[in-house]
Amino acid sequence: MLERKQVKGRTQVTFRLPEDTPAGPVSVVGDFNHWNPLAHPLKPQGDGTRAATVALPAHSAHSFRYLAAGDYWFNDDAADSHDGPNSRIHT
């Protein structure tokens, strides 16, 4: 699930997944963090989900994917669109 919140000319995007699916650590990686899996790990939220929030420029588009343990890459079904193998979000 993707959540957006407008804050002072930027869009805070929260990337949210179930806490146990897939098992193990998961990070959101994309052009906004130079595809660095250490930049935005999803952390447990206490409501059965895990999430990471990223501030992005308003009125922009970005490619991203999730990276789970075992080098398992996957997309977000709630993404605005897809660009080849990547999910896309429009702020």
C-alpha 28: how far from chain center? 4
State which residues form the domain around 71: 2-78
The whole-model pTM stands at: 0.93
In a domain, 47, yes or no: yes
- Give the pLDDT confidence of 9-66 residue by residue, as tens digits: 899 999 999 999 999 999 999 999 999 999 999 999 999 999 999 999 999 999 999 9
Assign residue 65 the CATH number of its domain.
2.60.40.10
Query: Residue 17 belongs to what H/E stretch?
Result: strand 10-18
Instruction: For 42-65, give one letter per residue: b (16+ CB within 10 A) or e.
Output: beeeeeebbbbebebeeeeebbbb
pLDDT at 41: 98
Q: Mean pLDDT, to the nearest integer, of 78-88? A: 94
pLDDT at 75: 96
Dihedral class, residue 19 (left if φ above 0, else alpha if ψ from -120 to 50, else beta): alpha
In a domain, 89, yes or no: no
pLDDT at 4: 95
As for how many domains the chain has, the answer is 1
pLDDT at 30: 98
